[in-house]
Amino acid sequence: MFEGVLQRVLQAVFGGGSSIDIKAAQDGLQSVDRAFREGRSLNNFYRGFVTPPGGGAEVLDMDTYCTLAGITIPAGYRHLQFSSRTHRMYPSVSFLTQLSVSALTPDLLFEFLVWSGTEGFPAVEFGTHGDAAAFNTGRAGFPHLLGVTDLLPADCNTARHLYTIKVSRSMSELWIDENIVAVCLHDLPEAIPDWDNNPPYALGSSEIVIAGGSLRVGVILDNNGDTALLPLNIFHGRIGLTDGDPTPPRQYPLYTESTATEWKGLATAIAVTSHPVPVWGYPRKTLVFQANAAGNLDIQVYSGGGWRSWVPGGITLVANQFEVYNLNGEVPIARCIYTPVGADTITLAEWYLS
């Protein structure tokens, strides 16, 4: 109601075209759904290019290539890309879509990207090429690819899922259906090993510094000349873009390394090693742990090309005692090695980062 009153006042003062100018100046990714209802052009919110059969580049008319069915490259065209007109601080962008991860379409490539608005290079990418999917943090000539093919939903080719890229000050994350699938640390002078295609999440690092305050989001769809359709309906909230937190709080349950076995509720009589947790850039790093038998908990950090015990000799655990340990120090990743005295069940094992 208030908006309607405001528009009538402005129309009276500035003329009949004022309301259209106001709408065109709004941030499109939050307003696309309304734009569809009001018949507004998607070109107000996105800009891009398409490669015609003869080569070169044509300015992309979003209203032609983006429909309720999805984003289409017509036969003979090879490349389509578009990006938001607005920039975001530490963006979080979500896409509700169906992937094409198949050896039957080796020449179909599409990527979701977060671009640097100042230098124009892709800063963070998630995409597929044929039967492989990867999460990339870097830029042309300096990519760092983390394979995530084995971490995709089993029905990713037939059902829509929510794919989210989150960029913070110290890392980029790929989420699928609200679960972390891949993490790449930024601006890390010393590289860590890659946990490629490994559950519960892929993990790696890049020396690239990402300017989190000047980023925009986009899509690239590429093929070999045949008609290609990406079932990404950019109306009705299928794309969402918001500002994010430079240091977003996280809660990481511990898992056995490179498995989907969570430690909470795990019965074990032998030593187990956890999957590494990315702690880079977090001032506060708190581990909570409890087990129903005595044992030893060795907290390790990756430094100098290998794992080092943070507490010499580890922490001696008392049966059923709730342990809280604060890790003070700037380290990239941490893991735990738990050695029970005998048969035991872990009742709690989590990191809290903020």
Domain spans in the chain, listed from the N-terminal domain onward: 41-242, 250-353
From its phi and psi, is residue 16 left (phi > 0), alpha (psi between -120 and 50) or beta?
Answer: alpha
Domain 41-242's class?
A: mainly beta
Q: Taking the complete model, does pTM exceed 0.85, yes or no?
A: no
Residues 187, 281: Cα–Cα separation, whole Å: 10
CATH topology for 250-353? Jelly Rolls (2.60.120)
Among the listed residues 293, 301, 183, the one whose alpha carbon sits nearest the alpha carbon of residue 248: 183
Least-confidence region, from 160-174, 278-292, 321-335: 160-174
Q: Which residue has the higher pLDDT, 29 or 274?
A: 274
The answer to whether the CB of 332 falls within 8 A of the CB of 205 is yes
Instruction: Output the pLDDT for position 15.
Output: 39
Inform me whether the pLDDT recorded for 14 exceeds 50.
no
The answer to whether the CB of 282 falls within 8 A of the CB of 246 is no
pLDDT digits (tens, 9 = 90+) for 30-51: 444 445 545 678 888 888 888 8
